[in-house]
Amino acid sequence: MRLKSNRGFSLLELMITMLILLIMAGVTFIAMGPVIKQNDVTNAYDTTLEVIRTYRNAAITRSRRYMITFTPAVGATPATMTVQWLGVGVPVNPPPVTVATYTLPTDIQFAVLPGFPTAVASVPDGFGAGAVPIDFDQFVPPGGLNYVMFMPDGSSQDTLGNWNSGIVYMTRATDLWSGRAVTVFGPTGRIRGWRLNNVGGVATWGQQ
């Protein structure tokens, strides 16, 4: 006869153990949901900021023009940033050469949401009115360009030689406080990152 202390687990005991493990896994998944979403916002912002800074520096160190084109998400296609360098030729410039394409997390878009500040004094660096997600060529009619182009002197210009200042917003749909933004000041190429904060119940952009 087998000793009682050597017998295995009963089916009921195994089912109870599995149920407890499943409950713990579910609670953990629910608790981690906001963290995962926050990571997506942070990754999108960090990637955007790093791409802009990297290719401004590359324009200076390599004496090249680098253009970064921002493309919003369309349907199941995520938002992207396409980097190209532009050579100089006489009498016609050669076509741009694509260097890299960067993709944002699928739940993050280049977009603006109701509730974003709209007054000139409250939008990042006073660029735009918080209504256009990709808004470069500020103060140059008609404005609203979807690209920034860095020159060998570090400045940002458009293809006509105007200073190209502007802003790009990124956010998760319906999540106001996930708002992030990056601004570029054309004459100097200065780059700033921004985060939307809840300050006493008022949506306020703060520089990161």
**How would you write the pLDDT of the chain (208 residues) with one tens digit per residue?**
455 555 656 777 778 888 888 877 776 666 555 545 678 899 999 999 999 999 999 999 999 999 999 999 998 899 999 999 999 887 888 999 999 999 999 999 999 999 999 999 999 999 999 999 999 999 999 999 999 999 999 999 999 999 999 999 999 988 999 999 999 999 999 999 999 999 999 999 999 8
106's enclosing H/E stretch is none
Region for residue 149 given its phi and psi (left: phi exceeds 0; alpha: psi -120 to 50; beta: otherwise): beta
Q: Is the pTM of this model over 0.85?
A: no
Q: Which of 45, 48, 88, 87 is nearest to 68 (CA)?
A: 48
Residues 6+ apart with CB under 8 A from 93: 86, 87
CA atoms within 13 A on the CB side of 77: 6
Check whether domain 12-199 has CATH 3.55.40.10, yes or no: yes
Maximum CA extent, the chain? 99
CA distance 112 to 178: 11
